[in-house]
Amino acid sequence: MSEQMSPADRAKYAAAHRAAAFVEDGMRVGLGTGSTAAWLVRSLGQRQRDEGLRFRAVPTSQRTAEQAREEGIALVTLEEAGWLDLTIDGADEFDAEFNLIKGGGGALLREKIVAAASERMIVIADIGKEVGRLGAFPLPVEVIPFGWQATQRLIEETLEAADVLGREVRPRLAGGQPFVTDEGNYILDLHLGRIGQPRRLAMVLNQIPGVVENGLFVDICDMVIAGYADGRVELRDRDRGASQQDNIELPRPGNLFSDIAE
């Protein structure tokens, strides 16, 4: 029920529900990973049932693929889709320049590939994810398992010359063992506090041997839909340099969306 949802969940629902309206018949759509993307997948499944909407989707993780199948959404590989009309995904942080940190859910590599293969990327997030400067959320860096400790040391050395506030690097763990991504890689979380030059840092990190990709998404996002706990949403369009507001009706008691809220 909406009154049992946390303020953050209500905001995520509002942003995801509004973004679902951008999906049109026949589109090829990238589906993101994470708690906000889960609201999106449910909203799109409901549109299929209520409106007969038909589209094909490329999921960015096994978790999203499983949920999409449960909703009856037709899935294809990125190779089969060729190119995507739209990708909708969440973010762990976003700033006024549409720069993002992603990868809290461990799917940053597929998320970046899918987003880069799309005509447009819409980011959906609760307003609490907006920051003045990126870096409070740990920056994920995906690395291959071979020699990952040497890669970590190279990253730490690189950070000594970076415009960041902190330089602590921690391997992400799951059950006391290294967290393993869908691609079989590990993730190092960089606790930087503040990132002064996101574009430069992204380029430098990807030059380190052993690094597969990093969670800085720069010049990829086209629109941010920020949700508020009261159902308001703010749509910010990078190309138009403008924003608009809308209102979304939150789920009523007993609504099928209520089971997603944690």
Per-residue pLDDT reduced to its tens digit, 21-40: 999 999 999 999 999 999 99
> Is 103 marked as a binding-site residue?
yes
Average pLDDT over residues 97-123: 98
118 and 242 within one domain: yes
Reduced 3-state DSSP string for 42-68: HHHHHHHHHHCCCCEEEECCHHHHHHH
Judgement on whether residues 21 and 108 belong to the same structural domain of the protein: yes
Residues 88 and 166 in one domain: no
Same domain, 22 and 87: yes
Question: Are 230 and 208 contained in the same domain?
Answer: no
Same domain? 37 vs 82: yes
Q: Do the annotations mark residue 102 as ligand-binding?
A: yes
137 neighbors 91 (Cβ within 8 angstroms): no
Q: Coil, strand, or helix at residue 194?
A: coil
How does the average pLDDT of the chain come out, rounded?
95
Residue 92 marked in a binding site = yes
What is the mean predicted confidence (pLDDT) over 51-60?
98
Higher pLDDT, 156 or 261: 156
Query: Which position among 93, 111, 213, 234 bears the catalytic label?
Result: 111
Percent of the chain with pLDDT over 70: 95
Q: How many CA atoms lie within 13 A of 190 on its CB side?
A: 35
Same-domain status, 83 and 40: yes
| Tally of domains within the chain | 2
- Per-residue pLDDT, 261: 47
Instruction: Provide the phi-psi class of 156: left if phi over 0, else alpha when psi is between -120 and 50, else beta.
Output: alpha
Structure letter (DSSP) for residue 129: G
Per the structure, the complete domain to which residue 23 belongs is given by: 2-131+219-259
State percent of the chain over pLDDT 90: 92
Q: Report which DSSP code applies to 119.
A: S
111 is catalytic: yes
| pLDDT at residue 1 tops 80 | no
**With 80 as the cut, is the pLDDT of residue 169 above it?**
yes
Q: Please check if 34 is assigned to a binding site.
A: yes
Same domain, 117 and 183: no
pLDDT at position 115: 98
Instruction: Give the CATH number, domain containing residue 152.
Output: 3.30.70.260
Q: Do 69 and 97 have their domain in common? A: yes
pLDDT digits (tens, 9 = 90+) for 203-254: 999 999 999 999 999 999 999 999 999 999 999 999 988 799 999 999 875 5
Closest CA to 71 of 35, 31, 102: 31
Do both 86 and 38 map to the same domain? yes
| Same domain, residue pair 223 and 210 | no
170, 197: one domain: yes
Q: What is the pLDDT, as a whole number, of residue 252?
A: 75
Span of 80-94, 134-148, 200-214, 244-258 with lowest mean pLDDT: 244-258
CATH number, residue 97: 3.40.50.1360
43 annotated binding-site participant:
no
Q: Rg of the chain's alpha carbons, rounded to an integer?
A: 18
DSSP, collapsed to helix, strand or coil, labels residue 132 as: coil
Structure-token pair, residue 83: 């190119």
